[in-house]
Amino acid sequence: MKKIILLLTLFLPLAVIAEEIVTFDGVAEPNWKDFVPSAYVDVQEPKGLGKLNETAAYWYKRRVDFENAINDCRNLETNDAKYSCYQQVKVKQYQENSEYNAKIEAQEQSRMGPPEMYDRTDTMIPIGGYLNNFTRFQPNELH
């Protein structure tokens, strides 16, 4: 019994790793989950009020484009052509991820306002100045 458990603990992780590498005719295919946030790996077409969710719609469109590109690569005849096609799909996905991340970062920057509004050293100067001025005046000097 101990030998069986020992063998399972050795081979089960290898089976999981082997499952993640999808090959088609001996050429490793890109995997959708490598390019998408984990919340949108299994995104479905937004319907009804879900159409208002722009993020889900964006990732669904990307997923459809990705799957179409993978199917086009599968239809190529030689392994070299498939390999280069898969590499092009990967490059395109990385570029789209970079553009998406830049867009999200720009939106967050525009929501926050100018960085000088959030500089803590600037906000402390007036408070320190008010405190210094407040301590200069004594109650008998206010007449």
In the prediction, which pLDDT does 28 show?
Answer: 87
57 lies in some domain:
yes
- State pTM to two decimals: 0.61
40 lies in some domain:
no
Task: Report the domain count for the chain.
Answer: 1
102 lies in some domain:
yes
Q: Which domain holds residue 93?
A: 53-130
70 lies in some domain:
yes
Query: Which positions of the chain have pLDDT values less than 50?
Result: 1-8, 11-12, 14-20
φ/ψ of 27, rounded to 5, equals: -110, 130
In the prediction, which pLDDT does 84 show?
Answer: 94
Q: How far apart are CA 4 and CA 79, in angstroms?
A: 39
In the prediction, which pLDDT does 99 show?
Answer: 95
Longest dimension (CA), the chain: 96
38 lies in some domain:
no
93 lies in some domain:
yes
44 lies in some domain:
no
**Cβ contacts of 67-72, under 8 Å, gap ≥ 24:** 67/32, 70/29, 70/30
140 lies in some domain:
no
